């Protein structure tokens, strides 16, 4: 399973440095002297100083690759100053980690982030005008405001999925159902004439030539279509470019009454339509 670490920090300065907290500090998850992961705090209000939140996310593959161990007592979160900015970088270590299992994570995470947002909101009020609001009350409890979504969306990876109840517009994983496609509709159309005298006669002709009945009816349908096209051209030569469009009507109708295969009819009708469009609009001269 994946693992998410969240920490609440408070970096207090009498005079705010020119560098943001993102530039000046880094949080590291340590296993003794081994770093498992690191992240820089997100600068939002007051250049990110005073109270804030950081998070480290390890996907299931990261957990296996890095070797992150659930409830390892040796893990600690280390806040460390950037060595390029400090002659002697400050280091604060916290080895107290509260572990929450996957069975309670979503409800616990929502409550935990709600509590953090309330604390941050109170802490940041002196630095904002008008007073910043990270939460608003909704029918199902508190949800993030736009500022709350911006902050926690940047701090906590996949927070919309992990704690959807804190968002007015929620993102959830889609439920995908594999659909099994069959040829039942095609078979139903091809059985249209089975019990009729016409169908019996056509099947008799097909048996004589040892060929499928649909081949006999398809050839007959094509012959009928060609006859219609020739009749149109003979009656009105100027309509010759439009004559192939009859195929886009005759063959699909023939398929719907079981005289030819539905896929075959659709393909031929499509090519007939493309051919007519080419003759009318794309052919030069």
Q: What are 228-271's pLDDT values in tens digits?
A: 989 999 999 888 888 878 888 888 888 888 888 878 888 888 88
Q: Are residue 160 and residue 190 in the same domain, yes or no?
A: no
Q: Are residue 90 and residue 228 in the same domain, yes or no?
A: no
Q: Are residue 196 and residue 161 in the same domain, yes or no?
A: no
Q: Please indicate, yes or no, if residue 130 is contained in any of the structural domains.
A: yes
Q: Are residue 141 and residue 221 in the same domain, yes or no?
A: no
pTM, two decimal places: 0.59
Q: Please indicate, yes or no, if residue 65 is contained in any of the structural domains.
A: yes
CB of 273 closer than 8 Å to CB of 281? no
Q: Are residue 10 and residue 117 in the same domain, yes or no?
A: yes
pLDDT at residue 23 in the model: 96
Q: What is the CA radius of gyration of the chain?
A: 36
- For residue 192, give every residue at least 6 positions away whose Cβ sits within 8 Å of its Cβ, in sequence order, or none: 199, 257, 258
pLDDT at residue 230 in the model: 92
- H-helix or E-strand spanning residue 51: strand 50-58
Q: Please indicate, yes or no, if residue 258 is contained in any of the structural domains.
A: yes
Query: How many separate domains does the chain show?
Result: 2
Of the three residues 98, 133, 166, the one that is the final residue of a domain is: 166
CB of 41 closer than 8 Å to CB of 54? yes
Q: Are residue 161 and residue 188 in the same domain, yes or no?
A: no
Nearest Cα to 198, choosing from 250, 265, 257, 263?
Answer: 257
- Dihedral in degrees, nearest 10, Cα atoms 257, 263, 265, 267: 160
Q: Please indicate, yes or no, if residue 271 is contained in any of the structural domains.
A: yes
pLDDT at residue 227 in the model: 93
Q: Are residue 140 and residue 228 in the same domain, yes or no?
A: no
Q: Please indicate, yes or no, if residue 179 is contained in any of the structural domains.
A: no
Range of the domain at 197: 184-282
Q: Are residue 13 and residue 121 in the same domain, yes or no?
A: yes
CB of 37 closer than 8 Å to CB of 59? no
**Which segments in the chain show pLDDT lower than 50?**
none
Q: Which two tokens stand for residue 140?
A: 């199902």
Q: Please indicate, yes or no, if residue 48 is contained in any of the structural domains.
A: yes
Q: Are residue 139 and residue 240 in the same domain, yes or no?
A: no
Identify each DSSP E strand in the chain by its residue range. 3-11, 25-31, 34-39, 50-58, 75-81, 91-94, 135-138, 141-144
Nearest Cα to 262, choosing from 193, 189, 182?
Answer: 189
- For residue 180, give every residue at least 6 positions away whose Cβ sits within 8 Å of its Cβ, in sequence order, or none: none
pLDDT at residue 267 in the model: 86
Q: Which two tokens stand for residue 221?
A: 């349908």
pLDDT at residue 77 in the model: 94
Q: Please indicate, yes or no, if residue 208 is contained in any of the structural domains.
A: yes
Of the three residues 166, 194, 228, the one that is the final residue of a domain is: 166
Q: Please indicate, yes or no, if residue 176 is contained in any of the structural domains.
A: no
Q: Are residue 189 and residue 150 in the same domain, yes or no?
A: no
Of the three residues 133, 166, 199, the one that is the final residue of a domain is: 166
Q: Are residue 127 and residue 210 in the same domain, yes or no?
A: no
Q: Are residue 92 and residue 222 in the same domain, yes or no?
A: no
């Amino acid at each position: 399973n994946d693992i998410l670490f969240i920490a609440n920090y408070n970096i207090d300065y009498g005079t705010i440095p020119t560098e943001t907290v993102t530039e000046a500090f880094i949080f590291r998850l340590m296993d003794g002297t081994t770093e498992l992961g690191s992240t820089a705090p997100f600068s939002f209000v007051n250049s990110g100083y005073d109270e804030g939140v950081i998070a480290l996310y390890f996907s299931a593959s990261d957990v296996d690759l890095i070797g992150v161990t659930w409830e390892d007592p040796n893990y600690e979160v280390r806040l460390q100053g950037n060595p390029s900015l400090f002659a002697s970088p400050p280091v604060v270590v916290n080895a107290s980690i509260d572990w929450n299992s996957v069975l309670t994570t979503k409800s616990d995470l929502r409550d935990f982030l709600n509590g953090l947002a309330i604390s941050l909101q109170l802490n940041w009020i002196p630095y904002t005008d008008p007073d910043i609001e990270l939460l608003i009350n909704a029918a199902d409890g508190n949800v993030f405001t736009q500022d709350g979504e911006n902050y926690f969306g940047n701090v906590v990876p996949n927070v919309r999925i992990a704690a959807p109840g804190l968002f007015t517009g929620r993102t959830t994983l889609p439920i995908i159902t594999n659909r099994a496609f069959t040829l039942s509709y095609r078979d139903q159309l091809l059985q249209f004439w089975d019990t009729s005298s016409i169908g019996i006669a056509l099947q008799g002709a097909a048996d004589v030539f040892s060929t499928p009945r649909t081949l006999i009816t398809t050839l007959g349908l094509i012959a009928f279509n060609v006859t219609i096209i020739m009749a149109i051209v003979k009656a009105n030569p100027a309509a010759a470019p439009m004559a192939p469009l009859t195929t886009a009507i005759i063959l699909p109708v023939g398929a719907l009454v079981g005289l030819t295969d539905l896929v075959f009819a659709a393909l031929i009708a499509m090519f007939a339509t493309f051919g007519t469009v080419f003759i009318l609009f794309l052919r030069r001269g």
